[in-house]
Structure 1
Amino acid sequence: MLSPPTTLDSIVIVGASARAAAESARRAGYRPCCVDLFADRDLRSWAQVERCPWEEYPVGLLSRVERAGVPADAPVLLVGAMENHPEVVEALSFRRPLLGSGAAAIEQVRAPTVLSRLPAPDGVAVPRVRRRRPLAGLVAPWLLGKYVRKPLKGAGGRRVRIWPVGRRFARDCYLQQYVRGRPISAVYVCDGWSSRLVGATEQLIGDEAFGADGVRYCGNIGPLALEDRQVRALMQLGVALAQKFDLRGPIGIDAVVDRRGVIWPVEINPRYTAGTEVLERSLGWSVLSKVSASTAAPGVIVGKAVVFARGRTRVPDLYEHFGSQEIADVPEPGAHFEPGWPVCTLIVTATDPETCRTSLRAMATKLYEVILR
């Protein structure tokens, strides 16, 4: 679906955090140049990196891509939160080829009602969406059901909250039906007409062990074992989305699996997603590779957890406490963090998901002990 690179072709990776996608690109034979917000220590040790200051993000990404001096025909791969900035994606596409979906497709699939415009495959249910607050007194609260308030432009679960019935919400938000169940993330590679389901992971959401709360994203564990009917449903959903919206390259679908095994898709991410790294590490494969994921040998269970600062802190040299295979997105010694800022990513392998989860929590406990000394 994606044209394989020749040896060490350049690729530009653009977004909030480029490290995971850069590793994927290197695994596929590309030479990555990264433009992101962090320019983490581990990434800079082997890749060309340009840091975009927070106050200049996202428009500042454009000038830094050009300043990097990468060949003009080097494609761009989008990563975290770029789906919220289609104007920047469009500007990038004028200058370089995109290894993924264009700005128009991104805007379409990020619309809150996008899923209701598609026929739902068997085993898939679409959450209700409201753009306006129901008028007080016209509908009994118990008839409305439970909703979450989501920003139109959000990422990682930030600003997503359970909606108190009847309360006003900002115009840049909408309501989506709350679904109780297991949060998952499915990963695909699309070519505008078809899609290949790479696999799925369980999402870690709001886990206090990693300094997260509410519905904030904090990691993935996978590959996730799915029933045959769920695999069929996800495959059909991926094909329908690719054909309807001309989706290309790696994409992800966040969903909730309820107690009956029904899949409720809640968000489409038309880019390389955080859960992709977990599947790639398990399969020893890259979504940017010419090798089909279906031919890759099943691997171990892989878990990753993003750990957030619980208070103001400065971190020591984390490599003195963790191995290079256990930690990623590593900050410089002495880096300052405010409460809620992501500190680093922990990565483990195990033989089963629960052992993976337990190991991640133990490592997070150790990390907090280290940074609080």
Structure 2
Amino acid sequence: MSAAPELASPSVAAPARDVVIATFSGRALAASARRAGYRPYVADLFADNDLRDLVDGFETVHGDFVTGFDGGELMAALERLASRCTPLGVLCGPGFEDRPELLEAIAARWPLLGNGAAVVRALKDPMRFAALCAAAGIRHPETRLDPPPGDDGWLSKRVGAAGGLHIGLPSSRPHAADRYYQRFTAGARVSALFVASRGTAVTLAFSRQWLGPTEALPFRYGGACGPVHPGADAEAGMTRAVSAVAAALPNLVGLGSADFLLGAEGPVLLEINPRPGASLEVFDGVACPLFAIHLAACGGRLPPAAPHFPSAKALGYAYLDRDEVAIERDTWPDWVSDRPARGTILHRDAPICTLTAEAPTPDEAIALFEARLKIIKREVEGQDT
């Protein structure tokens, strides 16, 4: 990571300063930055209506969730944004796991407020990460680069990909240099939100995840709810695993998430995402100012303990189940974000929007989320679900 200037304590909102954000979808990070007292300037793929209300400047970059950014276009967009402000640095969200060379290019131009290319390579190279887990005594699925003899008990994944769109049976995904194979592991999906600095990590909270599968995309990410408490033993095991990874990679810094499967024999670590991700919105708020906590960790300061959360929040995506829909509305409920503009054409399996639901318990929050999902799909798709 590039050297960071002195940053604000997470317990006190900082005076407004400029931060440039580069990510696939920047609305959540921009909202978190604004809550923490920063002025966000965002380069992303969508420039949704509600993003524009949050930022002091934005640029739309060509690309998609599968192929990633157009690197040259992204760098040009960041140059334009940085010319309009005095940036503290550039914070990179999802979109760089398989593009460490872009992180290097950004770090050569501005302070990088988060993990650099070396950390991303260490965590997203499947064999290096498997070796790290083995050396640290962390349970991790058997991993190989050559295709297994059949589908039985194996999954095919793409190096550096996220969101589950890339995962399938080996027979359903042609072998390529950027694909690897893991033993299928059964268990409940739980993610640990953590913040790291200088070889130490603090686990902040746990969330329950669910899938939004289709026949072609059986492992597509659906959403998450937290905080959840899967039990003292499971929580202790996940916390130990996160701390062991941080100790093995002392340059790991800032917010990240660790995805686990909880089975009968305890937690199995699937991957580490070394940047603020999907769980940001589940936990961000007055009780846990995540943007400030992230920047403080970049400056070497960690919170003394995990925060208390007074309620549970569920957050996930509504995906389109029709071949094509044109958005014909300007207003949305306040529990809808990443709102597409009127006239936007969406195609099958595209995310329509993001939904949130808050309630006293996780089960109640998930039930409310599911009710709201039915409403949005009925209104946008024009058919009952």
1:61 matched to which residue of 2? 74
1:302 paired residue number: 313
The 8 Å contact of residues 327 and 344 in structure 1, kept in 2 or not, is answered as yes
1:323 aligns with 2:323: no
- Equivalent position amino acid for 2:314 in 1: G
2:48 maps to a residue whose letter is: D
Q: Give the aligned partner of residue 242 of structure 1.
A: 246
* Residue pairs, 1:130-279, within 5 angstroms: 130-134=144-148, 136=149, 146-164=153-171, 169-207=175-213, 213-245=217-249, 246-260=251-265, 262-279=266-283
In the TM superposition, residue 323 of structure 1 has moved relative to its aligned partner by: 2.4
- Select between 248-257 and 352-361 the one with higher mean Cα deviation: 352-361
Cα distance in 2, alignment partners of residues 88 and 158 from structure 1: 22
Q: Distance in 2 between matches of 1:3 and 1:54?
A: 32
Residues 53-109 of structure 1 show CA distances to partners (whole Å, capped at 9, x for unaligned) of 228634321110111124455211111122121111111001111111111111111
Does residue 359 in structure 1 map to residue 368 in structure 2?
Answer: yes
Write the letter of the residue equivalent to 2:222. C
Q: What does the per-residue CA deviation read over 1:200-219, in whole Å, with 9 as the maximum and x for residues that have no partner?
A: 111121356xx994101121
Normalized against structure 1, the TM-score is what? 0.88
Match of 1:106 in 2: 120
Structure 1 portions without partners, runs of 5+: none
| Offset, 1:130 | 1.1
CA distance in 2, matches of 1:198, 1:212: 34
Partner of 1:28: 36
Partner residue, 2:130: 115
1:164 Cα deviation (Å)? Answer: 4.6
Q: Secondary structure of 1:288's partner?
A: helix
Distance, in Å, in 1 between the alignment partners of 2:50 and 2:193 is 25
* 2:31–2:54 CA contact under 8 A, matched in 1: no
Contact map agreement 1:121 1:233 (CA 8 A) in 2: no
Shifted more, 186-195 versus 227-236: the winner is 227-236
Compute the TM-score of the two structures, normalised by the length of structure 2.
0.85
Alignment partner of 1:129 out of 143, 150, 155: 143
The 3 A distance-change label for structure 1 pair 172 and 3 is same
Q: What does residue range 42-53 of structure 1 map to in structure 2 within 5 Å?
A: 42-47=50-55, 48-53=57-62
Q: Deviations over 1:7-63 (max 9, x none)?
A: 011111111011111122122221111110011101101212211122863432111
Deviates more, 1:23-32 or 1:173-182: 23-32
Q: 1:294, CA displacement in angstroms?
A: 3.1
What RMSD over aligned residues (CA atoms) do the two structures have, in Å?
2.6
Which amino acid letter does the alignment assign opposite residue 153 of structure 1? G
CA gap of 1:230–1:107, structure 2 versus 1, over 3 A, is same
1:143-185 Cα shifts (integer Å, max 9, x gaps): x9511100113110012013359x9622221111111111111
Contact 1:189 1:287 in 2 (8 A): no
* Structure 2: runs of 5 or more not aligned: 297-301
8 Å contact from structure 1 (residues 147, 177) kept in 2: yes
Q: How many aligned positions are there?
A: 358
- Residues 206-250 of structure 1 show CA distances to partners (whole Å, capped at 9, x for unaligned) of 356xx9941011211111113223332222222222232211111
Q: Percent identity?
A: 25
Matching residue of 1:78: 92
